[in-house]
Amino acid sequence: MRLGPGRRFALPLAVTLLGGAGAFSAAWAAGAVEGAVDRQGLNLAAIGMFFLFVVGTLWITWRAAAQTKSAADFYAAGGGITGFQNGLAIAGDYMSAASFLGISGLVFATGFDGLIYSIGFLVGWPIVLFLVAERLRNLGKFTFADVASFRLDQTRIRILSATGTLVVVAFYLIAQMVGAGKLIQLLFGLDYLYAVVIVGALMIVYVAFGGMKATTWVQIIKACLLLGGATFMSLAVLWHFGFNPEAMFAEAVQVHPKGDAIMAPGGLVSDPVSAISLGLALMFGTAGLPHILMRFFTVSDAQAARKSVFYATGFIAYFYILTFIIGFGAITFLMTDPSYYTAGAGGVINKVTGLLGGTNMAAVHLANAVGGSLFLGFISAVAFATILAVVAGLTLSGASAVSHDLYAEVIARGRANEQKEVRLSKITAVVIGIVAIILGYVFENQNVAFMVGLAFAVAASCNFPVLLMSTMWKGCTTSGALVGGFLGLVSAVVMVVLSKAVWVQTLGYAQPIFPYDNPALFSMTIAFVGIWLVSKLDSTARARAEVASFDAQYVRSETGIGAASAHVH
């Protein structure tokens, strides 16, 4: 650690919960004497704007979360959420600041190939809708664990689902932590470790204080902020090119070191297995994400649910088109300006990886380039506040997996006491926060969209196969689901660890053992085959009873009529 005594002294000061820009400028003043080569001067205007907007955003969302219809009375609680509002909320749930930073960074680095993420995320959406959402609504269940335990043995299913959820949450959290950590590092000129610790500490404080609920209104505000910021940036970029995208692409090809290659699907051709694998992960992972499915229950009727999906798809598609424009805008604006780069060995500037703060920060730099310091502060604040919201939501999901699924249903067998459950979920939240800090630090240089891709891969390999098979295939039994689900989960995680991203880039080995970037194609296959095979081999009386009770579940899942469960006793 290259820390001078002044910095050593000033940093803990700064760590005391973003205690005002004063502390940071003191920290910087100490650092400036040493003349650190990889840090920019502090942009006080941006920082001021950042604080203004972070506090403002948190305040608005806090108000929105606390807002209850106090004017309402008992007999006219009224005023439900409309399809349009819920559409915005779904979009808000789905679009994370990490994917905003990550996808624009990928486009910045590789051009067209970054688009596969945009498309994948978007396509995942109708999959959720057609395969899962309506059935879930009809079954009256919130989570995949609840759905799968409709006719399967809930104790074993919940052990699986809680494990799967925790792993997915961990991967997803890495992406958010890296995004937020980089942002703080860049903006305040802090060491990355401190940046990650600050973010993690804030997140724990935030969740522990009851923090932000993932309420509909919070998600709506989040969606509006992200859409607004991204729209402004895209317009600014397009305005620069006279609203002629062709001119933008032409200039991008000129300045990008890869030249023409950025307009062609390079990675897709050279490594189709990775590309297909990623596509599968993005498409089917959504259905396995713990926090998305709930959203279908917040509107009152099926019609409004469908309408909200229509709007949400529109918003999400629009958002990903914007990230694409922003990525190309970043190529044209940043690659021509060396002040956004640090020189590598021998003073050579690598136009892709040499970007200050890494490629994840392309959109943030672009904000500075098109809108100056104030807009930089604004975009950073929006990204940071929305990351915090996602992180809080994810942490709560993970905490609930432990407290509700593991403790209440498995250990206490449904006789859990509510206070203990709450206490346990708070402890879990703190533990998850600490784990997130460690993982966020370890995975510093990963692209955040890539990490999200891995989270989706795990979700697609564990949660999704169990969900799909238990609702669609009559022959699925508890043992099958359990074995197949765990096989999918373990194989996905092992393959990720053995792949280039972890084995080489993080753990420092020379060659990856697993040759592809994303494991979904293989781990999903393993999971489905595992479920099928074990279910077929399972000839216990219990398995036969589970198969027999499929019809009741099927009718209910298609029509919404029938009992709440078809438990086999």
Partner 1 sequence: MTAGFDAHNPPFDRLTQQEIEEVRAALDIGYFAPGEVIIAAGRSAEALHVVIKGAVEVREGEALQDVLGPHDSFDSRALVHGAAGEDFRATEETLCFLIPGEIVRRLIARNGGFAAFFYSEVSRKLDAFADAHRTDGVESVLRARVRDAARGRAVFIDGGATMEAAGRMMSEADINALFVRDGGRTGVVTGMNLSKAAVLRRLPLETPVREISHFDVVAVDADDFIFDALLAMTRHDKRRVAVRDPAGGFAGFLEDIDILGLVAGNSQLIPGRIDRARGLEELGIAARQIQEQVERLHRQGVKVEAIAEITSDLNRRLFVKLFELLAPPPIREAGCLLIMGSEGRGEQTVRTDQDNGLLLAGPVPETELRMFREGFSGALLGFGFPPCPGNVMVSNPLWSQPVDGLVRQLRHWVLDRTPEAAMNLAIFFDAVAAAGRPELLAEAKGALIALMRGEQALLARFANLIETFATPSLGMLSSIMAGVGLGAAADEIDIKKAGIFPIVHGMRTMAMDRGILATPTATRIEALVEAGAFEAEFGRELISSLRVFMAYRLRSQLAAVRRGDVSREALVRPAALSTADRDILRDAFRIVRQFRESFRNRYRLGSF
- CA 122, 433, 392, 403 dihedral sign is positive
Asked if residue 76 binds partner 1 (CB under 8 A), the reply is yes
E strands along 146-292, which residues? Answer: none
Helix, coil or strand: residue 190: coil
Identify which of residues 31 and 87 has a Cβ nearer to partner 1 in the complex: 87
In DSSP terms, 355 is beta-bridged to: 341
Measure the CA–CA gap between 269 and 261, rounded to whole angstroms. 12
Cα dihedral: 389, 391, 123, 224 (round 10): 10
215 binds partner 1 (CB under 8 A): yes
Residue 82 lies near partner 1 (rule: CB under 8 A): no
Q: Least distance from C-beta 80 to partner 1, angstroms?
A: 6
Region 252-311 residues binding partner 1, contact defined as CB under 8 A: 291, 294-295, 297-298, 300-301
Shortest CB 252 distance to partner 1, Å: 41
SS (H, E, C) 28-97: HHHHHHHCCCCCCCCCHHHHHHHHHHHHHHHHHHHHHHHCCCCCCCCCCCCCCCCHHHHHHHHHHHHCCH
Distance between CA 264 and CA 256 in Å, rounded?
13
Quick one: which of 110, 277, 360, 425 contacts partner 1 (CB under 8 A)? 425
Q: Which is nearer to partner 1, 306 or 500 (CB)?
A: 306
416 near partner 1 (CB under 8 A): yes
Angle between helix axes 302-334 and 97-110 (nearest 10 degrees) is 40
Helices 520-537, 478-498: axis angle to 10 degrees equals 160
Is there binding between residue 137 and partner 1 (CB under 8 A)? yes
Give CA–CA dist 465/528, Å, rounded. Answer: 6
Residue placing its CB nearer to partner 1 in the complex, 2 or 569? 569
Under rule CB under 8 A, residue 140 binds partner 1 = yes
One residue of 69, 239, 272, 548 binding partner 1 per CB under 8 A: 69
Helix/strand/coil for 475: coil
- Residue 202: CB minimum distance to partner 1, A: 19
The region of 14-22, 65-73, 163-171, 259-267 touching partner 1 under the rule CB under 8 A is 65-73
Q: Does 246 bind partner 1 (CB under 8 A)?
A: no
How many residues sit close enough to partner 1 to count as binding (CB under 8 A)? 46
Q: Of 421, 444, 517, 538, which one interacts with partner 1 (CB under 8 A)?
A: 421
Cβ proximity to partner 1: between 173 and 483 the closer is 173
Which residue, 290 or 480, is less far from partner 1 as judged by CB?
290
Record the tokens describing residue 222, joined without a space: 């989040």
Kindly indicate which of the ranges 163-171, 395-403, 465-473, 522-530 contains the residues binding partner 1, using the contact rule CB under 8 A. 395-403
Q: Are 158 and 478 in contact (CB under 8 A)?
A: no
Q: Residues 60-91, buried b or exposed e (16+ Cβ, 10 A)? A: ebeebbeeeeeeeeeeeeeeebebbbbbbbbb
Closest to partner 1 by CB, 343 vs 563, is 563
137 or 351: CB nearest partner 1: 137
Rounded to an integer, what distance in angstroms lies between the CA atom of residue 480 and that of residue 465?
11
Q: Which of 403, 428, 463, 478 binds partner 1 (CB under 8 A)?
A: 403
**3-state secondary structure labels for all residues of 341-395:** ECCCHHHCCCCCCCECCCHHHHHHHHHHHHHHHHHHHHHHHHHHHHHHHHHHHHH
Site membership for partner 1, residue 70 (CB under 8 A): yes
SS3 460: helix
Chosen residue from 45, 72, 427, 507 binding partner 1 by CB under 8 A = 72
Among positions 68, 511, 539, 559, the unique one binding partner 1 when judged by CB under 8 A: 68
The least CB distance from residue 96 to partner 1, in Å, is: 16
Task: Please identify, among the stretches 6-14, 137-145, 348-356, 456-464, the one whose residues bind partner 1 according to the rule CB under 8 A.
Answer: 137-145
Q: Does 242 bind partner 1 (CB under 8 A)?
A: no
Segment interacting with partner 1 (CB under 8 A) among 28-36, 171-179, 213-221, 505-513 = 213-221
Among 216, 323, 368, 523, binds partner 1 (CB under 8 A): 216
Which residue of 91, 396, 460, 496 would you call a contact of partner 1, by CB under 8 A?
Answer: 396
Decide if residue 37 touches partner 1 (CB under 8 A). no
Residue 80 engages partner 1 in binding (rule: CB under 8 A): yes
CB-nearer residue toward partner 1: 210 or 272 = 210
Q: Least distance (Å) from partner 1 to the CB of residue 403?
A: 7
8 A C-beta contact, residue 54 and residue 386? no
Tokens describing residue 491 = 């194989």
What's the helix, strand, coil split of the chain in %, to 5? 75, 0, 25
**Dihedral sign, Cα of residue 153, residue 154, residue 160, residue 164:** positive
Q: Which residues bind partner 1 (CB under 8 A)?
A: 66, 68-70, 72-78, 80, 137, 140-142, 146, 210, 213-216, 291, 294-295, 297-298, 300-301, 396, 400, 403-404, 415-422, 425, 560, 563-565
